[in-house]
Amino acid sequence: MGRIGSLFLAASLETTIGLGLFLPGSTIILFLGAISARGYIDVGDLIWFSAIGAIMGDNINYYLGKRYGAKWVREGFWFLKAQHIEKARHFMDAHGVKSIFLGRFIPSVKWLITSKGRIFFSVVNSLWKSVKQAVQNNEHVVQWLKKHPVVVSFFQKRLQTSTFSGLPLSMLMLAFIYILALLAGVIEDLITSDPIVAVDIRIANLLAAFRTDDLTDIFSWITLLGKSQVILAFIAISVALLLLWRKNYLILPLFIAVTGSEAFTYFGKLAFHRPRPELAVYVEHSFSFPSGHAAIGFAFYGFVGYLLIRFAKTWKRKVNIFFITITIILAIGLSRIYLGVHYISDIWGGYLVGAMWLVIAGSLCEWIAQKNKEDKSISPVGAARSISVGLLLIAMLFYVGFASKYHYLPASAPSNQNVIVYSATDIFSNGQLKYTETVTGERQEPVNIIFIAKDNPHLINIIQQGGWVITEKASIRSFINALRAVLLKNQYLSAPISPSFWNARVQDMSFIKSTTAISYGNAHHLRIWRTNSRLRNGGYIYVGMVNAINAIKWGVIPKISPYTDVERELLYQDLNLTGNMRSSQKVQLVKPQIGRNFTGDRFFSDGKAYIISMQ
């Protein structure tokens, strides 16, 4: 506890005005981070308390500045005089960006910058000039430059800031190559079925469990912002606006951004033939990778945002336009994932395709703008502002009308054909199925309970007779209620428990048994998945994993008890007391092992599981 208090105190005092000059809080936290890596401090506590301390120190600074700032600037305070503050202001004007970067990202440099800043930067500048001069005067460098004048000339032209073909084009080309490399990496991961594919499937199944009618309606409206009919209408309005404001030279780049991303997406879908997710809200008839909505959304809305930023007159307006544009693009991608019509990698691939064509279109815009500088003097059509407002209103009315009348074809639930097996353990066709999984598909606690029951209500009824409470369906609302119960220490016995995965699926049902009046700190958890297998006598096979939480870490995250075998035996005793077990058998499912779950908590397992047949 003393270590936690020290990091909290260091983070808060380090950001408090005056005290931060003497207290090397960043260095202390860096030191505590090294201790955490050795296992002496929980890394979550380190992050949590240092963040709270830093925020508290910043707020103290804000309060002091608001209350006494004007007076201190005039008169000074403590050991800081008015001339010191004025000197600091001139220093920050000259070296502000460099000093902030070095002070924040290089521990212990802050004191050097603030106390010996002028000397520090003089030394750094002198060293840089010395190194630069030494390299330029090196005889081997001089000889190489003389032998390769074409290469030298090429790089000099690439770094010129006065022409578009210089540094601007070089930066755009680097951005294009980087985006292309990212897209190639996604394609490679998709082809080789890297972990990104495992994450895709599990995230799709997880979001399906959180769907509600209200959120589905909201995201259905958002996703229509990337629908072809809406995009075409918006393009027509955009072209009209560009003609109205006499920006004709921007029409071709707009069409290049849109048609390029659409064509690339179309041929990408044909090339990869990736099926859509199984748990989609509605039917899509094209293939999944890359996402056309994400690509066209990034290309079109990104281009519109680029133009608005380019012609905005104030920095504040540019920033607002940037964040609004990013929000629209991200919302379209999120809607596609939430509605289950795309995987995450589809959206990421679509974004990269759209970004690639946006860079091409933006480069063309800058080149044309530099070539035709006289366009800046052309005045817009008369009453352009009023007509523009009318066109934007038409675009909005079209979108609202289209969205209100659009009806999608609901997707049918995936059919799971039952498989007849002779033994309950026959369902484990591979070793991975014997374990629960993290979102990335990595193994965590092994399955330690297997049920055989005639249907879901039958199994639920028997478990409830054992004193277990079925939890509420996982949703955003229920998890907010659970978080509120944790923070306020209120009773919430049917609170949803964190999702876990088996065979890439989220649990079908969950149960909780609290050992205290309040369920958040000490409770037994049971997660159950229904398989598509049944025995010859007609009983369906369910797999489960039972564990417990014995504390709360970081204030809100449950800490999992390592003794999964103890929890398995307690569940068995509860079910045995109901008198509803027809038969039971303990089998060695996996070898004994020690591991960690997705939150990093250790668990111990003897690798055994009960097979319980219900009456």
pLDDT value of residue 66: 77
Q: Express each pLDDT in 288-346 by its tens digit.
A: 899 999 999 999 999 999 999 988 888 888 889 999 999 999 999 999 999 999 999 99
Q: Express each pLDDT in 260-282 by its tens digit.
A: 999 999 998 988 888 888 888 88
Q: Express each pLDDT in 119-166 by its tens digit.
A: 655 667 777 788 878 887 888 888 888 888 888 787 777 777 677 777
Whether the predicted model's global pTM rises above the 0.85 cut: no
Indicate the pLDDT class of residue 452, thresholds 50, 70 and 90. Answer: very high
pLDDT value of residue 302: 95
Q: Express each pLDDT in 162-195 by its tens digit.
A: 777 777 778 778 888 888 888 888 887 777 766 7
Q: Express each pLDDT in 412-422 by its tens digit.
A: 777 677 888 88
pLDDT value of residue 41: 65
Compute φ and ψ for 358, nearest 5 degrees.
-65, -40
Cβ-count burial 531-561 (b if 16+ within 10 Å, e if not):
bebbbeeebbbbbbbbbbbbeebeeebbbbb
CB 349, CB 265: distance < 8 Å? no
Render 145-202 in DSSP notation, one character per residue: HHH-HHHHHHHHHHT-SSSTTTHHHHHHHHHHHHHHHHHHHHHHHHHHT-HHHHHHHH
pLDDT value of residue 61: 73
Reply yes or no on whether the pLDDT at 382 is more than 70: yes
Reply yes or no on whether the pLDDT at 376 is more than 60: no
**Any bridge partners for residue 443, and if so which?**
437
- Between the ranges 470-484, 496-510, 555-569, where is the mean pLDDT highest? 496-510
Phi-psi region of 39 (alpha: psi -120 to 50; beta: other; left: phi over 0): left
Distance (Å, whole) CA 549 – CA 599: 12
Indicate the pLDDT class of residue 60, thresholds 50, 70 and 90. Answer: confident
Tokens of 457: 């209500």
Q: Express each pLDDT in 505-518 by its tens digit.
A: 889 999 998 865 44
| CB-based contacts of 286, cutoff 8 Å, min separation 6 | 269, 292
Tokens of 211: 């769907």
Percent of the chain at pLDDT exceeding 70: 78
The least confident of 195-209, 480-494, 576-590 is 480-494
CB 44, CB 90: distance < 8 Å? no
Indicate the pLDDT class of residue 411, thresholds 50, 70 and 90. Answer: confident
Which position has the higher pLDDT, 94 or 573? 573
Reply yes or no on whether the pLDDT at 555 is more than 80: no
Distance (Å, whole) CA 308 – CA 373: 18
CB 521, CB 552: distance < 8 Å? yes
The CA-atom distances, in angstroms, between 317 and each of 309, 324, 395, 419 are: 8, 11, 22, 61
pLDDT value of residue 184: 83
Reply yes or no on whether the pLDDT at 582 is more than 70: yes
CB 505, CB 209: distance < 8 Å? no
Indicate the pLDDT class of residue 234, thresholds 50, 70 and 90. Answer: very high
Q: Express each pLDDT in 189-221 by its tens digit.
A: 777 766 788 888 888 888 888 888 888 999 999
Distance (Å, whole) CA 26 – CA 42: 18
Percent of the chain at pLDDT exceeding 90: 34
State the chain's mean pLDDT as an integer: 81
Reply yes or no on whether the pLDDT at 116 is more than 70: no
